[in-house]
Amino acid sequence: MDKLEQIKIAAEREIKDASNLKSLEDLRIKYLGRSGELTMILRSLADMSLEEKKIVGPKAQALRMELDSMITEKNKKLSERKRSVLDVSRPGKKIKIGHLHPLSIVEKEIVDIFRSMSFSVIDGGPEVETEYYNFDALNIPKNHPAREMHDTFWLEKLGNKNERLLLRTHTSPMQIRYMETHKPPFQIIVPGRVFRYEATDASHEINFSQIECLMVGKDVNLSNFKFIIEEFFARLFKKKLTVRLRPSYFPFVEPGLEVDIQCVKCGGKGCNICKDSGWLEVMGAGMVHPNVLKAGGYDPREYQGFAFGVGPERIAMLKYNIPDIRMFYGGDLRFINQF
């Protein structure tokens, strides 16, 4: 019995003091192992008298169980501590770094080029727009056939002043919103998201983006425009490209222009990208219509300017050879991860 008492006192203290898993294991062997101190006592029970057995047996068994659970507990504590210690010699985990969406990359490139040419980048504007800003103020009155060019998502709910609301079909309404609150001269670009109620195919999406440009001053003219976009396309595609201006019609500009660039793939010889024409249609543009300047609060006899709208999806498709506009919002990681 004395021996048992000694073992109990020593073992409890030693287990409590064990500072690592190795010394704990040594203690287990020392007391509970095959020839451990307590194991020897348990074994010697066989040689004891019945009287002795009755006293020593239960005590020894109880001690064995107590030490066993003490060791298990301690083992848990030590393992936890081990796990939380930083082992700087272990190989690191590879961190997956995210990256920008191809559209964001192109949008950022476009914006950076214009910013470097002293354009201000204007954020946003409302995606839920009023009929006035999206159409009327841009010289597209009701029943004007040009409204049919913009298949529109109309909202059922009316605005605060009972005006009709829609998802903006282009970023041009920002021309009016900006002029209303700023004085010329200025030069801005406005990236934004637009919506069209259209059947989708490889070159049509109901949701896409545009970048609107507006430059207004006393003598801003089309040669300024041509210089700026030539510079823009040269920097964007990293080579000098011939730019072609064709007369076109947009109600908010006069004259209106369609801007083509020499095909970035074949250089003008004709290929599948330019449909053998050698040219790529890349933006709508023109000199701001006097009615639009008026709607913005300017006197068209005093100020003039140019405007254009360009589609980052179209540019990204040309730059990266992307065959289908629906890939941008398709969420397919095999596509996204290539950028």
Alpha helices in 87-198 (DSSP H): 102-116, 131-134, 173-181
CB of 294 to ligand DAH, least distance (A): 16
126 by Cβ neighbours in 10 Å (0-12 / 13-18 / 19+) ranks as middle
Residue length, the chain? 339
Q: What are phi and psi of 285, to 5 degrees?
A: -160, 180
Query: Can you tell me whether residue 181 is helix, strand or coil?
Result: helix
Which of 176, 253, 264, 315 contacts ligand DAH by CB under 6 A? 253
Measured from the CB atom, the residue of 39 and 207 that comes closer to ligand DAH is 207
Residue 171 beta carbon to ligand DAH: minimum distance, rounded to whole angstroms: 7
Is 309 a residue that touches ligand DAH (CB under 6 A)? yes
Judged by beta carbon, residue 174 or residue 263, the one nearer ligand DAH is: 174
Q: Which is nearer to ligand DAH, 250 or 298 (CB)?
A: 250
208 binds ligand DAH (CB under 6 A): no
Cα of first residue to Cα of last residue in the chain, in angstroms, is 77
Per CB under 6 A, does 317 bind ligand DAH? no
Cβ at position 331, least distance to ligand DAH in Å = 25
- CA-based nearest residue to 178, from 114, 126, 220, 109: 126
Judged by CB under 6 A, the residue of 102, 184, 192, 284 near ligand DAH is: 284
Residue number, 74 or 170, with CB nearest to ligand DAH: 170
- The reply on whether position 172 binds ligand DAH by CB under 6 A is yes
CB 194 to ligand DAH: min, Å: 7
Collapsing DSSP states into helix, strand and coil, what is residue 225? helix
Q: 135, 208, 250, 328: which one contacts ligand DAH (CB under 6 A)?
A: 250
d(CA 121, CA 118) in angstroms, rounded, equals 9
Please state, in angstroms and rounded to a whole number, the distance separating the CA atoms of residues 310 and 263. 16
192 touching ligand DAH, by CB under 6 A: no
Min separation Cβ 170 and ligand DAH, Å: 3
Cβ nearer to ligand DAH, comparing 172 with 291: 172
Nearer to ligand DAH, 17 or 201 (CB): 201
Of 107, 129, 212, 313, the one binding ligand DAH (CB under 6 A) is 212
- Closest to 284 (Cα-Cα) out of 242, 251, 240: 251
Work out whether 285 is an interface residue with ligand DAH (CB under 6 A): yes
- Closest contact distance (angstroms) between CB of 309 and ligand DAH is 3
Window 66-105: residues binding ligand DAH (CB under 6 A)? none
Is 325 near ligand DAH (CB under 6 A)?
no
Q: What are phi and psi of 253, to 5 degrees?
A: -135, 155
Q: Count residues contacting ligand DAH (CB under 6 A)? A: 11
In whole angstroms, how close is the CB of 310 to ligand DAH at the nearest point?
8
Alpha carbon distance 38, 11 (integer Å): 10
Q: CA 215, 219, 225 angle in degrees (round to 5)?
A: 45
Long-range contacts of 327-335 (CB under 8 A, 24+ apart): 328/101, 328/102, 328/103, 328/205, 328/208, 329/205, 329/207
Residue 162 C-beta: closest distance to ligand DAH, Å: 26
For residues 329 and 326, give the distance between their C-alpha atoms in angstroms, rounded to a whole number: 6
* Residues in touch with ligand DAH (CB under 6 A): 170, 172, 212, 250, 253, 284-286, 307-309
